[in-house]
Amino acid sequence: MTDDILNILVGVLVLAGSCFVLVAGVGLLRLPDLFSRMHAASKAGALGSGFVLLGVAFGSGDPDVTLRALAGIVFVLVTTPVAAHLLAKAALDTGQRPWAVAGSTAAAKGTLENPRVETRSGP
Amino acid sequence: MTESFLQVCLHLSLVLLGVSLVFTALRVVLGPTLADRVLALDTLSVLAIGFVGVYALASGLFVLFDIALGLAAASFLSTAAFARFIRSRRVRAPQPAEAGGKP
Amino acid sequence: MSTLIFRACAPLIVGLMLVFSVFVLLRGHNEPGGGFIGGLIAGAAFAALGMAFGTDAVRRALRVHPTAIAGYGLLAALLSGLPSLFLGQPFMTGIWYETTILGSYLALSTVLVFDIGVFLIVAGTFTSIALSLEEDGE
Amino acid sequence: MVILSLDLANPPAWLLVAPALLPLAGAGVLVALGRSPRLAGPIALIVLALALLADATLLRSVLLHGPASVTMGDWPPPFGISFAADTLGALFAVFAKLSAAAVAWAALGDEDARADQGFFVFLLVTVAGVSGAFLTGDVFNLYVWFEVFVIGSFGLVGLARTAEALDGAIKYAVLNLVGTTLFLIAIGLLYGAFGTLNMADIARKAPGVAQAGAPLGALALLFLLAFATKAAVFPLQFWLPASYPTATPLTAALFGGLLTKVGVYAMLKVVVMLMPAAGAEWSGLISAAACLTMLFGALGALAQDDLRRTAGFLVIAGVGTMLAGIATGDRTGLAGTVFYAVQSMAATSALFILVGAIGKAGGVSLQALGGLSHRSTLLAGCALVLALTIAGLPPGSGLWPKVLLVESSLAADRPYLTAAILASSLVLILALGRMFMLAFWRPAPPGAMAADRADERVTVTAPLAVLVSVGLVLGLWPEPFAQAAFSAADGLIDPSRLIDVVFPEGAAP
Amino acid sequence: MSGKLLAASFFALAWVVFGGGPTFGNLLFGGLLGLAVALLVPSPGRRSAGSEFRLLPALRLLLRFPLDIWLSGWRVAKLVLSPAMPVRPALLELPLRLEGEGRIALLANMITLTPGTLTVDVLGEADKRLLIHALDAPDVEAAKAEIRDGFERMILDAWGRGGPSP
Amino acid sequence: MIEASFAILAGLFFATAVYLMLAQSLIRVLLGIVTLGNGVNLLIFTAGRIGREAPPVIAEGFTAPAVAVANPLPQALILTAIVISFSLFAFILVLAFRGYEMLGTDDVSHMRHSEPRATLPPLGN
Amino acid sequence: MAAFPLVFFLPFIAAVFAPFLVRTPGGVWALPLILLLDFGLLAGHAPAIAAGEVLTGALAWAPSLRLSLSWRLDGLSLAFALVIAGIGVLVAIYAAAYLADDVRRGRFFAVLMAFAGAMQGLVLADSFFLMFVFWELTAITSFLLIGHSPWREEARRAALQAWIVTGAGGLALLAGLVLLGLASGAESFSELLPATGRLAETPLLEPALLMILIAAFTKSAQVPFHFWLPNAMEAPTPVSAYLHSATMVKAGVYLLLRLQPVLGSEAGWTTLLPIFGAATLVIGAGLALAQRDLKLMLAYSTVASLGQLVMLAGIGTKAALAAATLYFLAHALFKGALFMLVGVLDVAAGTRDATVLSGWRRNLPWSFLAGILAAASMAGLPLTVGFLAKEEVFLALSEAPVAATALTIAGLIGNAGLVAVAYLVGIRPFIGVQQPGEGKRAATIGLTLGPVVLAIAGVVLGLATGALHETLTTPMTSAAYGEPAVVTIGPVPHLGLPLLLSVSALALGLALALSFGRWREVWSSAARRVSLLGPDRGYDTVLRGGVLMAAGIANALQNGSMRFYLGVVFVLFAGVLLLPLGMGPGWPEWPGLAAFALHEWATMLVAAFGLFAIAVARSRVVAIAAVGLQGFALAVLFLLFGAPDLAFTQFMIEILSVVILTLALTRLNLAPPDQRTSAQRLFDLPVAVACGVGVIVMLLAVTRLPFDPALSEFFNARSYLDAHGRNVVNVIIVDFRGLDTLGEIAVVMTAGLAIFAVMRIRRQMRAAGGR
Ligand code: NA
Ligand code: NA
């Protein structure tokens, strides 16, 4: 009995993970600028692989692998945001402006190191 | 019965991953900015983790699994390196001319 | 690119990568892994450390020049092949010693020493390459 | 002393690996110690001396008792990697080590060599790679040892400090990398066809595999292409005149003495020995390449004003001469190739050390040089003997291989090959005669000569004298070396003795 | 020194996880390896982390965070898949009450991990501010408030303000 | 036959590598070198014959592979080849980088410093 | 017989000790003594050789190279060896005096002695290759001797010219000897001579003959290869007397006489030798009379004499060979004497100009005596050995089997010229009005001994014909003829056509000599204009042209463009892959594709897409990003087809490659376009496609073969049991084939160090303000 539940759980988890990865893929293509695309991509990083790794954790039946899968999730949870942050900062610092941005005074005034250069690439 | 459900999910996942692999590959080439390409390459590594995970489940060979962890580590380093590359290029080279260019 | 967030998280990330690299090294004989991939991951870890805290911090942390690590790795690999010569066997003949202590199975061998040599070389070399390139970047 | 109590009949396992692993260990020690460039030189020299001793002992054992073999890890051949020392390999290893030791000795007193402690590490790695290549009996392991000396040589050319040296280094690196990649491609295909990597096993299986329809002709040609690139055979010699002249003189001395010879050695071992039938198919092509290489090298040497470039082209001419023996492929021809390769290791290293010394004395341009014979009679004497050796004239050592190759080409009814050998010799006499006359006999233009006597420091003249005297010994008393060359040729034509020593009881794989 | 020990024990734990369970061999080797890695890696002043740690808020945070990820993840998914893709990005500048580098990094990462928001950078020296890019934030102040009262509040409860690292 | 399609892919790798290595810019030549290395690895992998076998890992409780496994030897050879070509590539990359800085260009046709227009030797005696 | 090998080594021993002997006072005189001992040892064998014996023997030197220190002493080699040693003694004495105050005496005598050893070795050698070795050594020592005073460009030019021309001949000799060896199976002359029968059928004979003739004609300065000999007069006079008249230039004649029994009957031999010989005789004599410098006059007359000897060897009859023997002996004596005489005049009168020198009989009485006797022998006057030679020559020419009249006329003209030279050199400078010459030094005994002894010997041999023929001429002629041939000519002239011819030659010669002053100017300017087209000018143009052509070729091919270099490599690569299969067994048939799953297709697609993207990427930044794609796809492929370790490493390396690529290229300005021109694309595309197709074809040709899984089965079976490991691939890497990995990590370490070194040098140079 428990095996059936496990299989279903693993199947769902893996499918969900893949779906989120697909959403990230679509987001990468459809979203208008780098920063919006980063949202999609960081989501794939966290949710997509997270769910697949969870699937592997439950589906492997081998405690060693389960532990390692959980460790993998922790590692992904730490590295993905840091990588996203580094990339975003680098892009912003080199004058790449988010598309149609409202709000932030800093961005508006261009107090960042270099002048505002509007980059606009349609969806 | 439920085994077949799992197999279906796994195959479906492989297809989904395959499709997103193509999408991501497109972004790697389309760009337009280098940051976009780096983001796509980083997503490629995530895709690879997905691939490894699903393939391990499908083939029952969990021995492959550690590749996923190695990948996560290496992809982090590559994105960090690219970030550094992008930032330092600004100091030397003006906004890359090919920002809006198409291949 | 040394930013606050990166500097805060780097020790954790690098630490995990180093532990993982040693894990990949030690179980390489039975599951995919081994000295190369372990060394590469360790190298990547120190490269990341270099990016977060600057190359001087890494050199201080390592206390020994990375290329010297590679040198010791080569000597370890060579020495691992010598014992068999003294026993009259061809070079690099594996010598194994296996026991179980308190439930944990332990296998020491010249082949493991060789793999550790490979690990040190790959880690030392890649770190050296990354650092000398990063150093240039600043 | 361990070595003296050695049973030469069946040499111990360590003797076969020592020539390659000693220099490697030396490099490891230097890298681990790191900090002291001053110590690097002496350590390197001691290591090379020990390795040379091992080489000489191994050669004696092979000459007296035939080839020796050991398989690493005590695995049964062809599964483990076998080292198989036959006369060819042991002979090449000894002379390569001799040249390397002389270069190391010269490097003790050379500023740019001592300036960077990397020099001795790279030198030791290169020598380890070359020695490993000469002694291994496994074709993929041969590739690995190729890469070891290639990266060692990369390290040496990497020490470039001028634009010309750096450009030369880039060309050297890219073209040599392509060369070794061609070799790897050929090995991949060979493994696909044979299913094994052990040379003795390949030799055994060649007839059967050929019958199964394997494209051995194409495979042999691919190996030839790869080794032709490493040996700087025309038209694949471009990397050499770009890099040897611009590297530091001692780097060029090491390269000149060793690298192209390894390419020729590989041709002999892999094509002539392992795939004789397939190799023979291309003997017409090889002799054409030999003629072109000889003439291109000789004419190139005649045309240069820069002595360093002249020396580079002389190496190419030598490669063509060696190739002539492979083209005819008979016992005399192969012996000629082996004898030439062995004697030219010492001669070419000496040539580049000499050019280096002349460079310090009065620059390397013939237009500006002159009056060197007054400056140092020893240098003039060495220059003359070297010129005679390279042109293949008595009392130099280059004469005997030329005689063998003329005999072989005429016996094989290849008059155009003979004509090329003789024509290139004549052009070499002209080129070397002019070089000697203009640099040594012509009175020095005012103020051309360097004041300090850097060119006459003992660390320049001593190694030069040793290498030149090696040439004289080979020239005046060639018998033992000719015998070794002929026994090496026999080993190539009929590898059965080697196969028996690798597979003692003819064990099936 | 206590920072080093904490790091060492964390890495030892990591080894046990990798090595497949807490056998004697794993614990012994893990301890040694953990110590070695801790020495190698320059651990910043973890000192202040321990002083004001309260368990309950930390647990609340641990439970609440995955839920948040799932909810906003779903929200962003709907957004990306809808044909019109009603996206109103905004660049927020959030003044911080937290001071410890570790804490700020934790907050920044949590913001990035919850889809819809991305921490771009930490601005300023004394008056630290977080520069955040929001995928869809019509009301800038509301978005800021949501974070200030959400994740930042939870971290403050669990670990306090935290002084500047030594 | 699986090898057939891998052969075609290997052919593509080689064609691209050669095309890149004949490029004007040294950077593209470097990329060609990477592609060439990948191509050679695929060639060796294909030469070792490919089937849908499991990885050559002996499962717990067995002393030899229980099921048909992929050919382990080419994998070992390729592992060695990958790392070697990576090391050589890394060196050439740094050399090219140094070359760019010193020669001021990565255009191969302008990099002729090592072989300047050769000056004629003295034609007299 | 033990004395014999010593003869080989004596001169070389002298050569080694010469520099020290010269420095010790009086030590220099030891050198002629050593040569005298040499002469004595040889002379000791004369009776045995006269009795028809042939002494052969050998010391093993390099058997595997078919090389032995072997000698063959018969009439021919004995006569030559005696001349070499005999005149060597006198030249050594003469040189000791002539170069008394020359600072480089040590080097000179060492090389001179080495030459004597080489020349003697050449004529005594029995093994082919031994003779070749000595032949080349004479060329090298001649180069060093001509270049004795190298600060003069003419001396350097003459030295190199001599080495190149005789060197080329040496190479031809090697080919000729090898061909003779192949045709006859002989390794030495002793084996060759009896093997004449077998030679006839082989096709190798013509080329062998041609090579031998080239060797002989260049060494013995036959027209058109004669030009190096007059130029060699740049050498000090003792060298001119010894090498370039008595010995070295005779090596070609020796070779011809030695091979005459074997090749003498060949058509090529009997036609070419007389033609070249006669032409050289006439032209040599003519040019001699166009000179003002006595030394050049003698040089050209030597060319003429060599022509005569070659002509006689060509005729090959008993009489011709007897004439050659006699003339060889006579010439050695009188020409040696006259050369040394000219040296004395040069020292005493400070000039060698024929039109200036006159009336030196009072100051140089002994020289005058030597001049008269030597001139008499050269002119062929009775009572001299020259007369015996002249008679035999005209007898041989008149009875020549082919073109006797033409040869006789040539002989007449040539010898007339030689008579004139004899008078102009031997007599004229001493007679007439004594004019004041500001001579450098008095003619010491050392200088005059040589000419006098040689001149007197010419007369003594002329008279003691019985002893002469018995000991020297008959054995030598027999050896050259191949069968016993007794020489009988007596000192008393007897009526007959030869006497008539020699008298008319004498008369014509005297007439020319006496009227020399009147027509010399006209004749020498005419000769100079003709010589502009001559071989000497030709040598210079060939040399310059050769260097320029070589430069053209080298610069055209070695043009510095790495693109060109790589283009050649890849064209050959494509050719090597496609041609053999095209020619040989044909293309492997297409085995059909396997069925692949979607994700497998997707991965291959991405790889192909990545390759396409990188190839067409317009900017290098795009290319760098795209390189990640192909690596990724390949890694996934390895993963899908049972290679986890491979996938793992490929992933890691791929990422780290991209990391290093970006870290290193941070600085480069990748913006400027670097697109190829369409012309370049026209070349690159086909080559790239050809390489791709080639790889596909070869892979298919290899993978369709049955695969021998022996190695893999062993590894799978023994991995756990013997090597304690479950991951077979890793076990192969660290144990089964651990040595590969050891080499590999050596590469990795060295690469790291090399990169570190490059970056360190970069830092040092930038710190010092460089780039
Ligand atoms: Na070479
Ligand atoms: Na987020």
Summarize the confidence of residues G532-560 as an average pLDDT.
90
Closest Cβ–Cβ partner in C70, C94, C126 for G656: C126
Give the separation between CA F41 and CA F10, rounded to whole angstroms. Answer: 9
3-state SS track over D127-161: HHHHHHHHHECEHHHHHHHHHHHHHHHHHHHHCCC
- pLDDT higher than threshold 90 for residue D71: yes
Chain centroid offset of residue G53 CA: 34
Q: How much distance in Å is there from the Cα of A42 to the middle of ligand 2?
A: 7
Q: What is the pTM of this model?
A: 0.93
A13 pLDDT more than 60: yes
Q: Is the pLDDT of residue D453 over 80?
A: no
CA E70/CA G640 separation, integer angstroms = 32
> According to the model, what pLDDT value does residue F6 have?
95
CA dihedral D282, D288, D294, D295 (to 10 degrees): -170
Burial, F60: exposed, middle or buried (Cβ in 10 Å; 0-12, 13-18, 19+)?
exposed
Instruction: Report the separation in Å between the CA atom of E134 and the middle of ligand 2, taken as the mean of its atom positions.
Output: 8
* Ligand in nearest proximity to the CA of A46: 2
For residue range G14-44, list pLDDT tens digits in order. Answer: 999 999 999 998 889 999 999 999 999 999 9
- Asked if D73 lies within 8 A of C71 by C-beta distance, the reply is no
Check residue B41 and give its pLDDT.
83
Q: Give the residue from C4, C9, C17, C27 with the most A CB atoms within 10 Å of its CB, the best one to mutate.
A: C9
Judge whether residue G769 has pLDDT over 90: no
* Per-residue pLDDT at A43 exceeds 50: yes
In a mutational test of the F interface, the residue from D167, D238, D239 whose CB has the highest number of chain F CBs within 10 Å is D167
Nearest-Cα distance to chain G for F6, in Å, is: 9
Task: Average the pLDDT over G240-252 and give the result.
Answer: 91
Write the pLDDT tens digit of every residue in D233-290.
999 999 999 999 999 999 999 999 999 999 999 999 999 999 998 888 899 999 999 9
Q: Are residues G307 and G280 in contact, defined by beta-carbon separation less than 8 angstroms?
A: yes
Q: Is A112 on the interface with B (CB under 8 A)?
A: no
DSSP C119: H
Task: With beta carbons less than 8 A apart as the criterion, state whether D501 and D67 touch.
Answer: yes
pLDDT on residue G671: 67
Residue D177: CB partners within 8 Å, gap ≥ 6?
Answer: D150, F33, F85, F88, F92
* DSSP-H helix ranges across G399-496: 404-422, 445-463, 465-468, 474-481
Contacts of D192 in chain G (CB under 8 A): 699, 702-703, 705, 707
- Chains C and B are touching, with contact defined as 3 or more CB–CB pairs separated by less than 8 Å: yes
Comparing alpha-carbon positions, the chain G residue that sits nearest to F79 is: G646
Q: What is the mean pLDDT of residues G614-634?
A: 85
Output the CA D254–ligand 1 centroid distance in Å.
8
Res. C122 pLDDT band, cuts 50 70 90:
very high
Task: Tell me whether A75 touches chain C (CB under 8 Å).
Answer: yes
CA distances to C8, D225, E50, E62 from C12, in Å: 8, 52, 17, 19
- The CA distance from G403 to G49, in Å, is 35
Answer whether B59 sits within 8 Å of F57, measured CB to CB.
no
pLDDT at A119: 33
Which ligand is nearest to the Cα of residue D259, counting in written order? 1
Please check the confidence at residue D407 and state whether its pLDDT lies above 80: yes
D66 C-beta neighbours (distance < 10 Å), count: 17
Cis peptide bond prior to E89, omega within 30° of 0: no
Q: At residue B96, does pLDDT exceed 70? A: no
Residue D356: pLDDT over 70: yes
Predicted confidence at residue D117, as pLDDT, reads: 66
Mutation target to probe the E interface, by most E beta carbons within 10 A, among A12, A29, A38, A43 is: A43
Interface test with G, best of C78, C136, C138 (most G CBs within 10 A): C136
Residue identified by tokens 């301890």 is E31
pLDDT of residue G529: 85
How many helices (H) and strands (E) in chain D? Answer: 22, 2
| Exposure of E149 in the CB half-sphere (CA atoms within 13 A) | 5
CB–CB contact C125 F79 (8 Å): no
CB contact under 8 A, C91 and D14: yes
Q: How far apart are CA G607 and CA G600, in angstroms?
A: 11
Give yes or no for a contact between B53 and A14, defined as CB atoms under 8 angstroms apart. Answer: yes
CA distance B4 to chain F (A): 21
What would the mean pLDDT of G205-227 be, rounded to a whole number?
95
pLDDT range class, residue G737, cuts 50, 70, 90:
very high
- Give the mean pLDDT of chain C: 89
Are F121 and D144 in contact (CB < 8 Å)? no
Q: What is the mean pLDDT of chain E?
A: 82
> Mind listing the pLDDT tens digit for each residue in E42-97?
876 554 555 577 788 888 888 888 888 888 778 878 878 887 777 778 888 888 88
G327/D338 Cα distance (integer angstroms): 48
> Which among G363, G370, G362 has a CA at the least distance from the CA of G425?
G370
CA distances (Å), origin C138, targets C45, D51, E125: 19, 44, 22
Distance CA D294, CA E71 (A): 78
- pLDDT averaged over every residue in chain G: 91
CA F75 to chain centre: 16
Residues in Cβ contact with E90 at an 8 Å cutoff, skipping those fewer than 6 apart: A101, A102, A103, A104, E133, E134, E137, E140, E143
Backbone angles phi, psi at G70, to 5 degrees: -110, 150
| pLDDT tens, position by position, D4-40 | 567 888 888 899 999 999 999 999 999 998 766 678 8
The pair of structure tokens assigned to D68 is: 């020796």
- pLDDT tens column, G579-606: 987 777 678 888 878 888 877 888 899 8
Tokens 């690196």 correspond to D173
Backbone phi and psi for residue G315, each to the nearest 5 degrees, phi listed first: -65, -45
pLDDT at residue A111 in the model? 36
Q: What is the per-residue pLDDT for A98?
A: 76
A116 touches chain C (CB under 8 A): no
Task: Give residue E141's identity as a one-letter amino acid code.
Answer: E
Chain D closest CA to C102's CA: distance in Å? 32
SS (H, E, C) G51-76: CCCCEEEEEEEEHHHCEEEEEEECHH
Distance CA(D164)–CA(D167), nearest Å, equals 5
Q: Assess whether pLDDT exceeds 50 at residue B32.
A: yes
CB within 8 Å of G440: residues ≥ 6 apart: G347, G348, G350
- CA-CA distance, G617 to A16, in Å (whole number)? 36
Residue E44: the pLDDT is: 60
| Residues facing E122 on adjacent strands | E130
β-strand C96-101 against C104-109: which pairing, if any? Answer: antiparallel
Cα dihedral D282, D285, D291, D297, rounded to 10, equals: -100
Which of G143, G168, G169 shows the shortest CA–CA distance to G546?
A: G168
* B41 contacts on G by Cβ (under 8 Å): 625, 628, 658
ipTM of this model? 0.92
Instruction: Indicate which ligand has the atom closest to the C-alpha of A36.
Output: 2
- Does residue D500 carry a pLDDT above 80? yes
Compute the half-sphere exposure of residue F88: CA atoms within 13 Å on the CB side of its CA: 33
Provide DSSP, G274-330. Answer: HHHHHHHHHHHHHHHTT-SBHHHHHHHHHHHHHHHHHHHHHH--HHHHHHHHHHHHH
Q: Which of residues 34-53 of B touch A (CB under 8 A)?
A: 35-36, 38-40, 42-43, 46-47, 49-50, 53
